Amino acid sequence: MKKLVLNSIIFTVFLASSYLYAQRGEATGSDIGFEISGLEKPIVSEEYVLMPGDSILIIITGATNYSYITGVTFEGKVTINVPVTSMPTAQGIYVPKYDVVAAVPIYNLTLKNAKDSLKNVFLKYFRNIDVDITLLGMRRFTVFVVGEVKNPGMVYARPVDRVSVVITRAWSVTTLGSRSKIELRRKGELYKIVNLEEFEKTGDPLLNPYVQDGDLILVPKMEKSIIIKGAVFGKRGYELRVAELTAARERTSEGLYELIEGERVSDLITKAGGITPWANIANVYIERKEEKININLANVLVDEESEENIRMENGDVLVIPSVNAIVYVQGQVVNPGSFTFQPNLMASDYIGFAGGPLSDASMSTAYVQREKKKIALKDDPIIEQGDKIFVPRQTFKFWQDYLEIGAVIASLLISYLTLTAVSN
């Protein structure tokens, strides 16, 4: 009997290894994106519902010990297998031989309930035993994804896949599709409205439920939308814009975003992935029909209750311009001009880029022009984008000018007297 038990265990391990290997092999096919679905948490036996296609390991312990792998049939049943003898293989390993004595329905039962149901059946054949089951492989089934997705149609799914995962397999929502009013239909009826926008903000799993066999996902068109363009990171793609005056590249984005009733400027900035470091937040504006509404985004970012955090309307265009990603150096330097902005550099660094000051440069009166503010260079301030550095010419006092003029006259007089003496 002990030999039979040992062989049964070895054979079960062999089958389990073969099964897992087959699962990995299946993942190398066209469904690889489907096969690598990750578990958010371990399967809970009180929650997971068994359906055709699931694979389980049934373990009998106690007065009789053996185990075997089986699957839920198309009719929703599992077989009751009983070992009757063992047969040697060519390698000398004894493999247990089973008889199928019954097929028990476990369709639509949780793992826990199926365990209790199978134990009652096995007690008809053995005494003083316990029965346990564990899930080896999850079924795959089809979900239909229609509407505003890039590749509508039938999509394979697992019981651990949420609506967002299935939509991704349909190549995601189109530019015109709604992400906040997705319909999940189950058994021909509306089961839930899925709001992926809110799910991404809050992480509430109730807003992004698991799919089940035969579900239908409908992605409708947006009811209202706005355009956001400029210095935002963007969730609808972006491009690199080359600045006109320099070779600096600035990431700019333009995309169509869904507008939910009551959303304001700050809400849409969040949808667009936030502003970039080179955003000119003081000069943001909204194009609304023939009207231009100026907004200082700095006030909105500090206080969402600011009057400038206005409600957006269908068809609005929200523009976040970029600041000039350059620094100007002007005045008495060797090579005045514009230079690419580099973070954390000081005024002296940019004057060095310009070749340094000329001999008549007045460094003591040099300054930085930052919008309407003048900043003295005496403390060598850190430069920001768009700053202008001015290095003025020295202003001489009267007596210095007199000495310079006198030196010139003296030089001319000496030259004259020398020529006169030579001619005589």
Give the pLDDT band of residue 248 (cuts 50, 70, 90): very low
Each residue's pLDDT tens digit, 356-375 = 999 889 999 999 999 889 99
Separation of alpha carbons 367 and 377, rounded Å = 5
Query: For residue 11, is pLDDT > 70?
Result: no
For residue range 404-420, list pLDDT tens digits in order: 666 767 777 777 677 67
Q: What is the pLDDT of residue 70?
A: 95
Considering only CA atoms, which of 265, 231, 270 is closest in space to residue 250? 231
Convert the pLDDT of each residue in 311-346 to its tens digit.
999 999 999 988 766 889 999 999 998 887 777 899
Kindly report, residue by residue over 112-152, the tens digit of the pLDDT.
Answer: 999 999 999 999 999 999 999 999 999 999 999 999 999 99
**Strand pairing category for 337-340 and 326-331:** antiparallel
pLDDT at 241 > cutoff 50: no
Q: Which fold has domain 326-391?
A: Outer membrane lipoprotein wza fold like (3.10.560)
At 424 the pLDDT is 60
pLDDT of residue 385: 77
Query: Alpha carbon of 58 to those of 76, 136, 137: distances in Å?
Result: 16, 10, 13
Measured distance CA(395)–CA(59) in Å, rounded: 98
Architecture per CATH, domain 225-320, reads as Roll (3.10)
How much is the pLDDT for 86?
Answer: 80
**141-219 homologous superfamily:** Outer membrane lipoprotein wza domain like (3.10.560.10)
pLDDT, average across residues 261-285: 91
290 pLDDT tier (thresholds 50, 70, 90): confident
Q: What is the per-residue pLDDT across 60-76, written as a single tens digit (0 to 9) for each?
A: 999 999 999 999 999 99
Q: Quote the tokens at residue 391.
A: 């290095």
pTM, full prediction: 0.65
**pLDDT confidence of residue 245:** 37
**Does residue 252 surpass a pLDDT of 70?**
no
Domain ranges of the chain: 2-137, 141-219, 225-320, 326-391, 394-424
| Low-confidence winner among 71-75, 219-223, 236-240 (lowest mean pLDDT) | 236-240
Same fold, 141-219 and 225-320: yes
Instruction: Kindly report, residue by residue over 187-208, the tens digit of the pLDDT.
Output: 999 999 999 999 998 999 999 9
Quick: pLDDT tens for 20-48. 444 444 433 334 334 445 688 889 899 99
Tens of pLDDT, residues 94-111: 778 889 999 999 999 999
Q: Which residue has the tokens 């304001």?
A: 264
**Is pLDDT at 13 greater than 60 in this prediction?**
no
Percent of the chain with pLDDT over 90: 62
